Structure 1
Amino acid sequence: MATYSKPQVSLLNGIVMGGGAGVSIHGRFRVATENSVFAMPETSLGLFPDVGASYYLSRLPGLFGEYVGLTGARLDGAEMLACGLATHFVPAKRLPSLEDALSKVSSSDPAVVSAIIDKFSQQPALKDKSAYRRLDIIDRCFSRRSVEEILSALEGEAAKGTDDWISATIQSLKKASPMSLKISLRLIREGRVQGVGRCLIQEYRVCCHVLRKEVSEDFFEGCRAILVDKDRNPKWEPSQLELISDDMVERYFSKVDDEEWEDLKLPARYKLPVSAMAKL
């Protein structure tokens, strides 16, 4: 999808999370509405933002991708447009007319498709309490080297005054799997200098380690607590960020020690436009 030569138009009129984000955000055109709700809440489940999230989150303005990926924060349509997750904002009531107009297009020229969507688009206003309005604080705190330092910086900001957003951000991080936070931060940081193909290969490798339960069983515990028993009280192990060494994190990024295992192999691409080649 990220390298597809024909323009893909995704209508994001509802929940856009996990796999839903994976099959839409990589497309050329992403149309948000007032009903859109985006989030990658995997750290609260003991996993990490996957399906290429390390590629597109790392390319959001400033350190907004780290904030969204680590906290699982929910964004509305206006925020999606502001940060670039969406390319257009169209009121939900106008979507049928937009779909009808797009169905009549006989050209695959992105400029033609974009011009049609533009006719139905609006510029929504960000809410006063939008996290995107706090990008300066996010950049200051989430630019720190480690998750521990990010938390410390946020707590320092909280000490300066009362801001419900900062408190909620701190709580989101403290409730998430410590191992997931460490893995996610590294994936997003490395994704910033990798193409989408390399990001997908690395995410696949990390996921294989997660499923093998070699270092931590947090994903299975998260599924139990959130999806099965629904007590929403996962017992993470390791239970604290300070108990996780760099070597433990490194194991998730190494090749799986199994002679029958191999890295993800993406299909060969031919006659790609230059813009698509740049993403690989």
Structure 2
Amino acid sequence: MAQTLYNNGRTDQVLVEETGSVRTFILNRPKKLNALSLQMISQLTELFYANEEDSNVKMIILKGHGRAFCAGGDVSPIFHNARQGNWKFGANFLQKEYTLNYVMATYSKPQVSILNGIVMGGGAGASIHGRFRVATEKSVFAMPETAMGYFPDVGASYFLSRLPGFVGEYAGLTGSRLDGADMLASGLATHFVSSDKLPLLEQALVKVDTSDPDAISAIISHFSHIPKLKEESHYHRMKIINRCFSRRTIEEIIFTLESEASDKKDNWISSTIQLLKKASPTSLKISLRLIREGRLQGVGSCLVRESRIAYHMLRGEFTKDCFEGFGAILIDKDRNPKVCYIHLNMDNTELRFREPLPFIYSSFTYFQWEPSSLELISDDDVDRYFSKIDDEDWEDLKLPPRSNLPPYAIAKL
């Protein structure tokens, strides 16, 4: 029998269930699609540390309450503070989030993330780094940051760069949505389980008393199957993705896509070109370099580099694109809440909210980026984002030491 625990000083934004040697952490902000608040990040970090030290705990299950696993970080307080010149508020928030990502990536006990719904931005960072990722027919993965003047962070330069071929570049640059079958095919998910079987899967997992990854994988595999890829799946486009997104620069990627479009009429190609042309030019150039260089780096190095870029963006030193993107999403010009319809471009899915959310943008939204075109951004301009912050009161991200790691965690260092 599972026991839900509420400890003094903890928010109910993360619930904890204790069943035998298994601990289940439940993200519990369903009205915000479980967007990660600072309180949630702090509590999750505390929980992961405490249960790693507890010899009675053998496995962690992580899931979301409601129709999302997690739709990203709650960027509203970050944005509002940065606009007032307090960039260090957001920098501290992100340091804590990146530390959580690192702890998850190097965790000594198996973590099973049940991704039954939206998995975007920070939600990917809170799950894809774990040992097991279970997708369903309801899963929707995306890293939409370039369309908001930001970049795929939370260790995305590590996990996107390790997807087959150049799928990582495609997903990270365009922000395109992948469904559960796509996630399994690309390696973002380790298993695919129909959502109606999840209760049985969880019951089976909490009955075991083991940290053996092979045994846990066998249990999940008992409930899993290989889903059929949809006709519009990116996986059917692997040849053209590899041909176009393997190019050296963003300009060359777009040129190659346009050349493909001139040879044949293809809605997928034209929509991909549109996604790239709508995104922040600065974000695109930064993201491409991050993913390319991430292939040769460990997860810790990737997070440190991402943190530097994030700090520069929050300071607004070289561009204010993220202020433009997040501001348009977070603040309605008349300051009044309004109904927001969001199309996820998968089976005509439509979500309806009372107010705009900070992690999804309308497919009809256009922003005024500065610089406004790729040609105006030099390699030297991009280099500046990868440099340390010139602030004597601020240091690079300091990740915690990790010990007694299993082989699959050591391989990430």
TM-score range, shorter chain: over 0.9
User: Where do 1:1-280 residues align within 5 Å?
Assistant: 1-229=104-332, 232-280=365-413
Larger Rg, first or second structure (1 or 2):
2
Aligned equivalents of 2:186, 2:410: Cα separation in 1: 24
Deviations 1:86-137 (A, max 9, x none): 0000000000110111111101110111010011001101112211111110
Deviations 1:38-91 (A, max 9, x none): 000000110000100000000000000000000000000000000000000000
CA contact 2:278–2:366 (8 Å) conserved in 1: no
- TM-align CA RMSD: 1.0
1:4-30 C-alpha deviation (Å, 9 max, x unpaired)? 111100000000001111110000100
Three-state SS of the structure 1 residue aligned to 2:133 is strand
* TM-score between both structures, scaled by the size of structure 2: 0.67
CA-to-partner distance for each residue in 1:236-272, whole Å, 9 max, x for gaps? 0000000111111100001111111111011111222
Instruction: Please state whether the residue corresponding to 2:153 is helix, strand or coil.
Output: coil
Q: Using the aligned pairs only, state the percent identity.
A: 70
2:108–2:404: 8 Å Cα contact kept in structure 1?
Answer: no
What is the identity, as a one-letter code, of the residue corresponding to 1:183?
A: I
Q: Residue 227 of structure 1: CA displacement?
A: 2.7
Paired with 1:109 and 1:274, the residues of 2 have a C-alpha distance of 12
Are the equivalent residues in 2 in contact too, given 1:226–1:232 (CA < 8 A)? no
SS in 1 for 2:105: coil
SS in 2 for 1:239: coil
In structure 1, the residue matched to 2:73 is none
Indicate the structure with greater strand content: 2
Which TM-score applies when normalising by structure 1?
A: 0.98
> SS of the counterpart of 2:176?
coil
Shift of 1:226: 2.5
Counterpart amino acid of 1:243? L
Q: Structure 1 residue 234: deviation in Å?
A: 1.4
Structure-2 separation of matches of 1:51 and 1:216: 21
Between the two proteins, the alignment pairs up a number of residues equal to 280
**Aligned equivalents of 1:142 and 1:233: distance in 2?**
23
Q: How many Å separate the matches in 1 of 2:109 and 2:140?
A: 26
Q: Gaps spanning 5+ residues in structure 2: where?
A: 1-103, 333-355, 357-363
Q: Which has the higher helix share?
A: 1
| Distance apart, 1:232 and its partner CA | 2.7
Gapped runs of 5+ residues in structure 1? none
User: Secondary structure of the equivalent of 1:16?
Assistant: strand
CA–CA distance in structure 1, aligned partners of residues 249 and 221 of structure 2: 41
Greater relative CO (CA pairs within 8 A, separation 6+): 1
